[in-house]
């Protein structure tokens, strides 16, 4: 057993060996003392304290590398566990404390102050887009382009929509529906000018057929574009 311990640069402190299942007293080169069976040591195991220290040092180095990838530093030199906070500094000099668990997760959380500055900038961008359309972005906090926020148009309509949809050109549905109603009214006026009626109640676009009726009662379907080109009742 002494020779086995010496291979690990340690010492077997026990003076008597009973069997492979009886615990012996061991000491590593760092002076840590513990009890373990000879079978346990022969299987490649050794000082649990040194193992934990080595494991913690490796994990701390991993966290330090993640901090460097963000352009910052991990200022702590001692790692306890994933839930004990470490101190960090970002590239802009902001310092904060958070757990290794948060820094090391797949989402890659980093400086909360920089994140707040980024959100503030994005929120200002959304407010500018809304202002260009005569409205307002009512959100106080920006989460992501796919997280719905409140908007208000110049007519006072309030609704919720993702910033990504607004950026792609979407705006107030209430105003859009009002615009459609105005357009169908235009179609009805066009039919009246021909002595007939537009029987449809909803206008989609100039290429979608509507239902018409002439002064003699003939009913047919035609696109607004077709009717606007001075054509009228095909039967007449």
pTM value > 0.85 = no
The whole-angstrom separation of Cα 174 and Cα 182 is 13
pLDDT given at position 47: 95
Span of 115-129, 130-144, 221-235 with lowest mean pLDDT: 115-129
pLDDT given at position 144: 78
Phi, psi values for residue 12, rounded to 5°: -95, 115
pLDDT at 120 over 70: no
pLDDT at 106 over 70: no
pLDDT given at position 114: 82
What are the b/e assignments for 192-205, b being 16+ CB within 10 Å?
eebebbbebeebee
pLDDT given at position 108: 64
Enumerate residues 6+ apart whose C-beta is below 8 A from 114.
Answer: 90, 92, 94
* 136's tokens: 């307002």
* pLDDT (average), residues 173-179: 78
More reliable by pLDDT, 226 or 89? 89
Q: What confidence tier does 179 reach under pLDDT thresholds 50, 70, 90?
A: low
The whole-angstrom separation of Cα 127 and Cα 119 is 12
Task: Give the Cβ contact number of residue 129 at 10 Å.
Answer: 16
The whole-angstrom separation of Cα 11 and Cα 125 is 68
* 125's tokens: 């961008």
Encode pLDDT of 28-73 as tens digits: 999 999 999 999 999 999 999 999 999 999 999 999 999 999 999 9
* pLDDT (average), residues 227-234: 86
Query: Of 24-38, 138-152, 167-181, which one has max mean pLDDT?
Result: 24-38
Q: In this prediction, what percent of the chain has a pLDDT beyond 70?
A: 94
pLDDT given at position 182: 59
What are the b/e assignments for 148-175, b being 16+ CB within 10 Å?
ebebbbeeeeeeeeebeebeeeebbeee
pLDDT given at position 107: 65
The total number of residues written for the chain in this structure: 236
pLDDT given at position 117: 62
Encode pLDDT of 157-166 as tens digits: 999 999 889 9
Q: Please provide the average confidence, as pLDDT, over all residues in the chain.
A: 89
């Amino acid at each position: 057993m002494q020779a086995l311990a010496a291979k690990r640069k340690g010492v077997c402190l026990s003076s008597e060996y009973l069997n492979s299942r009886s615990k012996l007293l061991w000491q590593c080169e760092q002076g840590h003392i513990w009890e373990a069976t000879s079978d346990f040591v022969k299987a490649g195991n050794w000082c649990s304290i040194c193992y934990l220290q080595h494991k913690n040092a490796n994990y701390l180095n991993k966290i330090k590398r993640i901090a460097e990838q963000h352009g910052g530093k991990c200022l702590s030199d001692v790692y306890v566990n994933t839930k004990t906070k470490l101190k960090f500094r970002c590239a802009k000099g902001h310092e904060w404390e958070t757990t290794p668990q948060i820094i090391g997760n797949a989402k890659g959380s980093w400086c909360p102050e920089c994140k707040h500055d980024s959100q503030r900038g994005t929120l200002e961008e959304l407010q500018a887009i809304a202002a260009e359309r005569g409205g307002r972005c009512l959100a106080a906090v920006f989460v992501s382009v796919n997280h719905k926020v409140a908007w208000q148009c110049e007519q006072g309509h309030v609704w919720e929509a993702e910033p990504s949809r607004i950026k792609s050109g979407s705006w107030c549905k209430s105003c859009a529906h009002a615009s459609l109603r105005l357009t169908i009214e235009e179609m009805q006026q066009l039919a009246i000018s021909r002595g007939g009626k537009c029987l449809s109640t909803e206008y989609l676009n100039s290429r979608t057929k509507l239902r018409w009726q002439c002064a003699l009662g003939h009913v047919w379907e035609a696109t607004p574009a077709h009717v606007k080109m001075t054509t009228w009742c095909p039967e007449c």
